[in-house]
């Protein structure tokens, strides 16, 4: 910012004149000084209310004060005057959006790309940008460093899906951007969208009309929200019944209640990076709906009708999963679902071909239609599984991982493991420690598992990433010389870029 100072006490600049004027009587000089101090404090109060503006307050020498803000400065980013003249941040704490420590991350989400909410209430995204899913013009198909999404404020939650992203603001409003092929942004695909390849897209956050949410999640071509009363609404593609209402109903951009409406009391909802979703209800019950080709809904696919032109089993009506109770969280992956239950135990069902259950099976595990004890019997406080591996957080703040390991998604400094699945891809079917090196006393507070890469948020607001980095989803350019990326990742094709060692993601 340039130009004249916003706040100035220009009549007080002639210090010699003021000093002689105040000399006739000591008591009069004291009164003037007292009134000047009071007036100056009032002016500072005015300046404090002006965000993002530079303030220059110059006091006479008799008041024993100097300038507080430099002319042309920006209090939105100056740690010595963060948001107001003289409001200095603590040592080592930066100023972002007029808030000390405002760039510290408070929430993370990994999908096919990555996003994070910062303390100031704005959002940063990075990774694949084929459809503008990072909030950047899609002419730039890869965003390899965290980039702020314009036009957002007061954000409390972000969810990265396959090629789209949504956020929830403090007022419960939901805003989405990215691919809009099936109306998953909450508006009709023709409503001012661009064209990215063969699909409509929009890199600018758009509000989902009429929706007030308590929680959200974004999957593959669809999204869901937990709303008042513990009910769930979904919108986007419905080819596989993933909206929880009617099979092969096409697509809708209007949030549609998951049926039956009597199925209320939901406490959370999770969408996979495939077309299925699950939710936790009262008493820790779990219900799932959508595509069920590998049993991710918790029952035999032979019991379901076929959809997508009779190709795969699916179920639109939410199906209550038997064999699991007391659930505190559920995570829908690709062909697999896992739940965290009271006491920290883990149960999984669906595809275990890459050790996604973490129960030690090294022969590909196969498909299980009912919940199985998972994670080697260990106890955890948080869990995420959105693709073919899982991340979990224990009570000491340590991160564990299991499942596919060919692209370093387990963060254990290796891309090796036991042969799994039909193509002999490597996996680690038991929980293994993620090799995070945190500052002394630091712990991890959140984990997020995306498409072959993982994220962790530590107690200081720092984000760590590892795994596949073909499109910059680790927060740095693929193959950067100083990042330690490998170029021989992936099985059976060994030409992908990855980094199996967690590294810090750079923020402002």
Q: What is the CATH number of domain 322-508?
A: 2.130.10.30
Beta bridge partners of 448: 455
Say how far apart CA 177 and CA 203 lie, in whole Å. Answer: 5
Say how far apart CA 376 and CA 366 lie, in whole Å. Answer: 17
pLDDT at 493: 66
Give the DSSP per-residue string, 193-213: -EEETTEEEEEEEEEEEEEEE
Cα-Cα-Cα-Cα dihedral sign, residues 169, 175, 178, 184: positive
Polymer length of the chain: 508
pLDDT at 219: 96
Q: Which two tokens stand for residue 349?
A: 């069902």
Say how far apart CA 252 and CA 230 lie, in whole Å. Answer: 22
Closest by CA position to 178, among listed 200, 197, 159: 200
Q: Which two tokens stand for residue 434?
A: 């993620």
pLDDT at 61: 33
Q: Which helix (H) or strand (E) holds 47?
A: helix 26-48
How many CA atoms does the CB half-sphere of 228 hold within 13 Å?
Answer: 6
Q: Which helix (H) or strand (E) holds 21?
A: helix 15-21
- Domain-by-domain residue ranges, the chain? 10-99, 322-508
Say how far apart CA 265 and CA 281 lie, in whole Å. Answer: 5
- Full pLDDT tens readout for the chain, 508 residues: 333 333 333 332 333 333 333 333 443 333 333 333 344 333 334 334 434 334 443 333 333 333 468 777 899 999 999 999 999 999 989 999 999 999 999 999 999 999 999 999 999 999 999 999 999 999 999 999 999 999 999 999 999 999 999 999 999 999 999 999 999 999 999 878 999 988 999 999 999 999 999 999 999 999 999 998 899 999 999 999 999 987 777 899 999 999 876 677 999 999 999 999 999 998 899 999 999 999 999 999 999 999 877 889 999 989 999 999 999 999 999 999 999 999 999 999 999 999 999 999 866 567 899 999 999 999 999 999 998 999 999 999 999 999 999 899 999 999 989 888 766 788 999 999 999 999 888 899 999 999 999 999 999 999 999 999 989 999 999 988 788 999 888 766 667 899 999 999 999 8
The pair phi, psi for residue 243, each rounded to 5°, is -85, -5
Q: Which two tokens stand for residue 481?
A: 């010389």
Closest by CA position to 452, among listed 110, 157, 190: 110
Say how far apart CA 241 and CA 249 lie, in whole Å. Answer: 8
Say how far apart CA 6 and CA 71 lie, in whole Å. Answer: 8
Q: Which two tokens stand for residue 255?
A: 């949030």
pLDDT at 28: 34
**Single pTM value for the model:** 0.86
Q: What end-to-end distance do the CA atoms of the chain give, in Å?
A: 19
Neighbouring C-beta atoms of residue 207, cutoff 10 Å: 14
CB environment 319-352: b (16+ within 10 A), e (fewer): bebeebeebbbbbbbbbbbbbbbeebbbbbbbbb
Q: Spell out the residues 6+ positions from residue 78 whose beta carbon is closer than 8 angstroms to its own.
A: 69, 95
């Amino acid at each position: 910012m340039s130009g004249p100072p916003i706040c100035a006490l220009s009549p007080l600049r002639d210090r010699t004149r003021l000093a002689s004027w105040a000399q006739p009587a000591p008591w009069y000089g004291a009164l003037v000084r007292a009134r000047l101090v009071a007036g100056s404090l009032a002016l500072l109060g005015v300046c404090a209310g002006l965000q993002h503006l530079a303030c220059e307050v110059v006091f006479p020498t008799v008041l024993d004060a100097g300038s507080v803000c430099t002319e042309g400065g920006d209090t939105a980013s100056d740690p010595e005057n963060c948001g107001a003249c003289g409001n200095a941040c603590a040592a080592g704490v930066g100023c972002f959006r007029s808030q000390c420590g405002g760039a510290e991350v408070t929430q993370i989400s990994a999908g096919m790309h990555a996003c994070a909410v910062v303390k100031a209430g704005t959002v940063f995204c990075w990774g694949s940008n084929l459809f503008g899913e990072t909030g950047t013009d899609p002419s730039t198909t890869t965003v390899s460093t965290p980039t702020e999404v314009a036009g957002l404020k007061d954000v409390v939650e972000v969810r990265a899906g396959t090629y789209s992203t949504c956020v929830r603001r403090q007022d419960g409003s939901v805003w989405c951007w990215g691919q809009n092929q099936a109306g998953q942004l909450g508006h009709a695909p023709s409503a001012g969208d661009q064209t990215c390849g063969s699909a409509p897209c929009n890199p600018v956050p758009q509000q989902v009309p009429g929706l007030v949410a308590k929680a959200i999640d974004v999957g593959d071509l669809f999204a869901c929200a937990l709303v008042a009363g513990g009910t769930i609404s979904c919108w986007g593609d419905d080819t596989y019944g993933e909206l929880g209402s009617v099979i092969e109903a096409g697509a809708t951009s209007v949030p549609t209640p998951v049926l039956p409406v009597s199925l209320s009391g939901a406490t959370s909802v999770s969408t996979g990076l495939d077309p299925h979703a699950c939710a936790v209800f009262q008493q820790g019950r779990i219900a799932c709906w959508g595509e069920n080709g590998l049993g991710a809904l918790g029952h035999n696919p032979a019991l379901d009708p076929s959809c997508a032109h009779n190709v795969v089993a699916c179920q639109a009506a939410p199906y209550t999963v038997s064999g699991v109770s007391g659930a505190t969280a559920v995570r829908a992956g690709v062909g697999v679902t896992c739940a965290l239950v009271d006491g920290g135990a883990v149960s999984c069902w669906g595809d275990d071909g890459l050790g996604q259950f973490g129960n030690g099976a090294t022969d590909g595990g196969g498909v299980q239609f009912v919940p199985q004890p998972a994670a080697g019997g260990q106890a955890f406080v948080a869990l995420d599984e959105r693709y073919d591996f899982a991340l979990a957080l224990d009570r000491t703040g340590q991160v564990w991982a299991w499942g596919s390991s060919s692209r370093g998604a387990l963060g254990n400094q290796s891309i090796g493991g036991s042969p799994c699945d039909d193509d002999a891809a490597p996996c680690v079917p038991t929980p293994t420690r993620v090799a995070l090196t945190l500052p002394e006393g630091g712990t991890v507070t959140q984990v997020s598992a995306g498409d072959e890469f993982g994220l962790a948020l530590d107690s200081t607001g720092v984000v760590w990433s590892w795994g596949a980095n073909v499109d910059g989803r680790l927060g740095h350019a693929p193959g950067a010389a100083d990042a330690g990326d490998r170029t021989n990742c992936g099985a059976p094709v060994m030409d992908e870029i990855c980094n199996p060692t967690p590294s810090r993601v750079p923020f402002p």
